[in-house]
Structure 1
Amino acid sequence: MQGFEWHVPADQGHWRRLRKSIPDLKDIGVDNIWIPPGCKGMDPCGIGYDIYDLYDLGEFDQKGTIATRWGSKKDLQELVRAAEDVNIGIYWDTVLNQKAGADSTENFMAVRVDPEDRNTELSPPEMIAGWVAFDFPGRGEKYSKMKYHWQHFTGVDWDESKQSYAIYKTSGHNKDWAKDVSDERGNYDYLMFANIDHSHPEVRADIFKWGEWIGTEIPIRGMRIDAAKHYSASFQKDFVAHLRNTVGADYYLVGEYWRGEVNLLLKYLKMMDYEISLFDVPLLGRFAAISRMAGGDLRKIFRGTLVEKMPNHAVTFVGNHDTQIGQSLETVIAPFFKPLAYSLILLRSQGHPCIFYGDLYGIRGGPEPQAGSSCNRKLHILTRARKLFAHGEQRDYFNRRNCIGEYWVMSTVIVTGLIHSTGFVRYGNYQHPFGLACIMSNGGSSYKRMYVGSKHTGELWTDIMEWRCETVVINSCGYGIFPVDAMSVSVWVNSLATGRHDLNRPL
């Protein structure tokens, strides 16, 4: 689960909120929590991507506060211990592309570049005053003696001497944008604030040291690599290798490489020697497009996605803090489609699904706040269904444009359903024998005749989403006829299983 959304209160209490939620999250099947950037930012209310000091986790009086927006270092450590106690891992949001909130300016030579083509220089080298001096006076030399100065950066976007906003590329020996970054805008190395030069040996040494240090301060199990397309892939590869060698070979890493073309994601994974996973941005785009398209073809929902091409490296998701309304990567999925999308990532075997704090608990602010779950308060039901019933092998039958079904069975026989609907079969296992049948429609109401196994003969199956109130009887041949409402999803399981597990109990 992504454990935050953009509008979580800036009350320095979020680490405590998450700690209190740990029992509920364990109950619904959350295995790992991606927490927000916990290093000191330049703004006490900043969400953490305005990174100031990697080594300040809410311990030092810097930038007007000791605690970060999320809480103190002590609160953070207590959260991680509470998660560890119930075997929930913590993934750190790692921001290594930029620094913000410098302590003072320095004069250095730089050239202005075209914001739309950063390879095009618009001026000869000129002296500018950039905010690039990071002395960390509140921390001093505890944990690290490294201080950052102009030579440790490749660019800024503000000249204090002229009070001028532009993208300035640092001039000097071996100073240039990294070449192994996204080719958007010519070269998308520069994103914001003071852009770190990852080729500088002092920078490399300090970041590698920090990668080891953070794991000693808090026992995290992995990292999200922020803005992966904006800095050197070769540096990231070396950083990941360093973590594997020093922290552990099973350290989980997922990159935020925000491109909608799956071939670019595959190229990046190859450059990284397939040592990390990526968020499946193309799949999110498919969800958004089909949700807004009348009669969109559900059979093609996974075409051109990372989970289709390389499922073991795909982190599937339905939304995150950047895709919220009003944010930089705003991606609108029609409300009716959110439960369908979550069913497709949670109730299938491919990919590593990630649910969103804002979809589970609601959005607290912004243009369109919502008090509760964006899935009509049903997301926790789907996560419990994944934990309890979504096990075993799977076989797909996507053969109807607007109605696809999923059926998960404890059986060794696969039988195709009626021609008017599509679906896929997945088998249960010894520990989870009940199975489930899921059917969804982005058009009119429909049904599917599904084979769920002769050993289920005579069982009564009910919709755990409670959007269909009837009971389906499994016939003597192991079939049931499972209905679904228009623009909806229904998840059917043995009624004895629903009574045993109380899937609808609230968080």
Structure 2
Amino acid sequence: MKKPIVKIYLLAAITIFLYSCSQNETNETDLKASSQQFEIINVTHHDGKPFSTGTSSSSLTGKYVDNPGGGVMMQAFYWDVPAGGNWWNTVNSKLTAWSNAGIGSIWLPPASKAQNGAFSMGYDPTDYFDFGDYNQNGSVETRFGSKTELVSLITNAHTENMKVYADIVINHNSGGQSEANPFTGTNTWTDFSGIASGKFKRSYNDFYKNSYGNNDEGAFGGFPDLCHANPYVQDWLWGRADGVGKYYKNTMKFDGWRFDYVKGFGAWVVNAWNANVGGFSVGELWDSNVNVLNDWANNANSSVFDFACYYKMNDAFDGNNLALLNDDMMWKRNPYKAVTFVTNHDTDEISNKLLAYSYILTHEGYPTIFYRDYEEWLDKNKLNNLIWIHNNKATGTTSILYSDDDEYVARRNGYNGNPGLVVYINNSNTWQERWIQTNWANTQIKDFTGNSTWVPTTQADKWVKIQCPPKGYSVWSVNQ
């Protein structure tokens, strides 16, 4: 969400799978002893079972296919994308390239008509069933385009075997007319009886405070706060066949949901939506406390954006303290319900972004790529390489092999015949080398980023020496 009108939302969701890495080299033995100080931390699912993975690792058609390492999501917008009704077409034009790169899903901004019409980013929703086909709030199209263009985008994404996630804003509404409100003794902007679609009309009793109480978990920006305790609201959001959730899923063909500002209502709301509508879901719970994130994800039966990981990466990479990556994060607590990210439309604090992407794209969780990072700000070839590594090598549980202020080494332990990987991140200004223990004996490995030209062979006891460039990363796996 963004600040009132200029929202602060975050992204996400999705729950996901895994990735892996392994390593290194030479037949030297004299350096191994010093490596006994390395801290090895195993990160496993709470029930101790191995994480499942997908199947194929590449596509002959160029379309996205499920991979051993799971999926990657693209946040297909940023704050204040160009107005003028062409954004759906812009995204549509990039789908084939994204699919070829290994992107398996896209997250779209709120698609329905909002109070500011053609200028709104959608986080002030008025009519959930106006996708740019009714003349209201000053325009027919939304900021992003027409309903026809949105349907074309979703259809083409599915042709590319990509899933499409809708941003759902159900904490608050905006754009209603003034009406006398007996619960406040004043007039409130809660009359939505005149919305153009004629569906999900609302009045003062559908917003707090009302006959159901004075408030729920939280209001936002002074907007009317939707009352999910009202059976009428529940029915229109997730109950009835022509309600918001089922219309989005069954008619518009969205595959999942990113729930905005979930601090504003109970986790039971998302749980009920998921139980009645289905599809992938991820909640924007802006909190760095892993316990809060995990509790919400379990109660909502949903994925959640891993803000704990986000803030730890910011402190680790920008604060030059990679040992912070040993700390607890949502992906370590519950990788199937953790959606990881480096930046989004609301927050962009991490400076060493490629190091952060090398982290989330080699570790567990469901990683998200930000549109502007991919299309404008960073090296697309390097991101595509990391996406390929994620999809093809990042499998199995995670073991942290070493960390200090400047260096971090972790191993993905592989799964179902996939060898996994070893990722080495170096935040210092010089090349670094380190002995580490892999899962492979007498095996030649290489750096799949191409940053190192070494092609070492692991010893019989699986130890090997690897290297990493300054302010960079290397990712090692079996040379095959």
For residue 166 of structure 2, what is the amino acid of its counterpart? W
Alignment match, 1:207: 237
CA apart distance, 1:277: 0.9
Alignment match, 2:384: 380
- Which of 426, 438, 442 is 1:441 aligned to? 426
Q: Distance in 2 between matches of 1:222 and 1:322?
A: 21
- Which of 439, 455, 464 is 1:472 aligned to? 455
| 2:213 is the counterpart of 1:175 | yes
Per-residue CA distance 1:122-157 (angstroms, 9 max, x = gap): xxx6x3222221134533x3xx2x321222211xxx
Q: Distance in 2 between matches of 1:391 and 1:36?
A: 30
* 1:74 match: secondary structure: helix
* 2:413 match: secondary structure: strand
Q: Distance in 1 between matches of 2:422 and 2:289?
A: 32
1:91-490 correspondence to structure 2 within 5 Å: 91-102=165-176, 104-109=177-182, 127-139=185-197, 141=198, 144=199, 146-154=200-208, 170=209, 172-178=210-216, 181=217, 188-208=218-238, 209-244=243-278, 251-272=279-300, 275-294=301-320, 296=321, 298-324=322-348, 332-334=349-351, 337-348=352-363, 350-362=364-376, 372-373=377-378, 378-392=382-396, 394-405=398-409, 423-427=410-414, 430=417, 436-445=421-430, 446-450=432-436, 453-454=440-441, 456-457=443-444, 461-462=446-447, 464=449, 466=451, 468=452, 470-474=453-457, 480-490=464-474
- Which of 62, 80, 85 is 1:12 aligned to? 85
* 2:388 match: secondary structure: helix
Overall identity of the aligned pairs, in %: 25
Q: Distance in 1 between matches of 2:103 and 2:222?
A: 33
CA radius of gyration, larger in: 1
Q: Distance in 2 between matches of 1:231 and 1:428?
A: 38
| 2:49 is the counterpart of 1:25 | no
Q: How many residues align?
A: 399
CA apart distance, 1:451: 5.3
For residue 32 of structure 1, what is the amino acid of its counterpart? S
* 1:456 match: secondary structure: coil
CA apart distance, 1:106: 0.9
CA contact (8 A) 2:304 2:337 kept: yes
Alignment match, 1:81: 155
* 2:179 match: secondary structure: strand
For residue 207 of structure 2, what is the amino acid of its counterpart? F
Q: Distance in 2 between matches of 1:475 and 1:302?
A: 26
Cα separation, partners in 2 of 1:472 and 1:456, compared to 1, 3 Å: same
CA apart distance, 1:444: 4.3
Structure 2: state its 5+ residue gaps.
Answer: 1-73
Q: Distance in 1 between matches of 2:110 and 2:250?
A: 17
CA apart distance, 1:71: 1.3
Cα separation, partners in 2 of 1:343 and 1:52, compared to 1, 3 Å: same
CA RMSD of superposed structures (Å): 2.5
CA contact (8 A) 1:39 1:53 kept: yes
Q: Distance in 2 between matches of 1:134 and 1:455?
A: 70
Structure 1: state its 5+ residue gaps.
Answer: 111-124, 155-169, 182-187, 245-250, 325-331, 363-371, 406-422, 498-507
Q: Distance in 1 between matches of 2:206 and 2:192?
A: 10
* 1:301 match: secondary structure: helix
Cα separation, partners in 2 of 1:377 and 1:86, compared to 1, 3 Å: closer
CA contact (8 A) 2:340 2:365 kept: yes
Cα separation, partners in 2 of 1:376 and 1:2, compared to 1, 3 Å: closer
